[in-house]
């Protein structure tokens, strides 16, 4: 996987898209490498994943226009499906995924960030969906996720007009949670990942499932999903230890993911 780097430190893993000379642009090979890296994660030990880009200029500057420019209609549809399949896999991954967005997150880069659970940005980050200026639509979920994360009118403006927004505006809109300096971004992403990793992994996993599933359900169905995931936690050793420690007024033992 020459286009991605993967490092694990304890219960935290960092996946870095490593194509800085092309501003980490996504082509078929990069998408396949990301897909393989996600498949190779040891979900028994990794409790939170950080996704970022190599260098300070770009998280991912977009999909590879050189590759896309030669595609037929059928090939373009297949390329869109490849990206959507990979991003959906990230979105549905059992563990939380944090996007540490350093620099440009345009087109496929913004779409990749939106497939993550949480987005943190550097103060030089720029977000956008500039595809209509190239004669195409967003193809990796941009037309769907953006309007679910920010006001619909603003999402339509960004896509129709191809307007970019900077980190502070992205935070005001709710597209990102926090903005840090370039130097502070990854350390703070790791701090958040560690806080997540210290909680009961099964409970975190059930929470992610309930939220991701429930957002597309009517309330009466969504609360049944929550009830079932709540109940599932009571089959775990971690639930027993967490509640016992609370009642005994002590710090819980490290959660075992069991």
- Digit-coded pLDDT (tens) for 65-96: 989 999 999 999 999 999 999 999 999 999 99
Cβ contacts of residue 239 below 8 Å, gap of 6+?
A: 200, 202, 203, 233
What does the alpha-carbon distance between residue 258 and residue 244 come to, in Å, rounded to a whole number?
Answer: 15
According to DSSP, residue 134 is labeled G
pLDDT digits 0-9 by tens, 86-143? 999 999 999 999 999 999 999 999 999 999 999 999 999 999 999 999 999 999 999 9
The whole-number pLDDT of residue 64 equals 87
Give the DSSP H or E segment for 207: helix 201-214
Catalytic residue among 70, 111, 157, 237: 111
Catalytic residue among 131, 217, 241, 248: 131
91 is catalytic: no
pLDDT band of 63, cuts 50, 70, 90: confident
Torsion of CA 113, 117, 118, 121, to 10 degrees: -10
Task: Taking residues 155-163, report their average pLDDT.
Answer: 97
The count of other CB atoms within 10 Å of the CB of residue 94 is: 15
pLDDT band of 56, cuts 50, 70, 90: confident
**What CATH superfamily classification does 4-197 receive?**
2-enoyl-CoA Hydratase; Chain A, domain 1 (3.90.226.10)
The whole-number pLDDT of residue 117 equals 98
Q: Could you check whether 4-197 and 199-247 share the same CATH topology?
A: no
The domain locations on the chain are 4-197, 199-247
Instruction: Identify the CATH assignment for 199-247 out of 3.90.75.20, 3.40.50.300, 3.30.43.10, 1.10.12.10.
Output: 1.10.12.10
Phi, then psi, of 48 in degrees rounded to 5: -155, 140
111 is catalytic: yes
The whole-number pLDDT of residue 39 equals 97
- Provide the whole-model pTM: 0.95
Q: How far is CA 143 from CA 103, 120, 139, 234, in A?
A: 22, 21, 8, 38
The whole-number pLDDT of residue 132 equals 97
* Torsion sign over Cα 162, 76, 38, 206: positive
What does the alpha-carbon distance between residue 99 and residue 119 come to, in Å, rounded to a whole number?
Answer: 5
């Amino acid at each position: 996987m020459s286009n991605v780097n993967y490092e694990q430190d304890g219960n935290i893993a960092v996946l870095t898209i490593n194509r800085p000379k092309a501003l980490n642009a996504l082509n078929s090979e990069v998408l396949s490498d990301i897909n393989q890296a996600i498949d190779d994660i040891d979900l028994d030990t990794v409790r939170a994943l950080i996704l970022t880009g190599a260098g300070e200029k770009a998280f991912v500057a977009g999909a590879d226009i050189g590759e896309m420019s030669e595609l037929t209609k059928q090939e373009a549809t297949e390329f869109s499906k490849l990206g959507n399949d990979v991003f959906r896999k990230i979105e549905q991954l059992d563990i939380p995924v944090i996007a540490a967005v350093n620099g440009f997150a345009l087109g496929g880069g913004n779409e990749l960030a939106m497939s993550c659970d949480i987005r943190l940005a550097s103060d030089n980050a720029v977000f956008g969906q500039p595809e209509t200026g190239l004669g195409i639509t967003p193809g990796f979920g941009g037309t769907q996720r953006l309007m679910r994360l920010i006001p619909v009118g603003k999402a339509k403006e960004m896509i129709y007009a191809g307007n970019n927004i900077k980190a502070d505006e992205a935070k005001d809109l709710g597209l990102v949670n926090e903005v840090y300096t370039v130097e502070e971004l990854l350390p703070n992403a790791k701090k958040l990942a560690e806080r997540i990793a210290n909680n009961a992994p099964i409970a975190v996993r059930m929470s992610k499932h309930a939220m991701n599933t429930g957002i597309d359900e009517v309330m009466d169905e969504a609360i049944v999903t929550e009830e079932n995931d709540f109940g599932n936690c009571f089959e775990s050793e971690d639930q027993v230890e967490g509640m016992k420690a609370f009642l005994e007024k002590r710090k819980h033992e490290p959660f075992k993911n069991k």
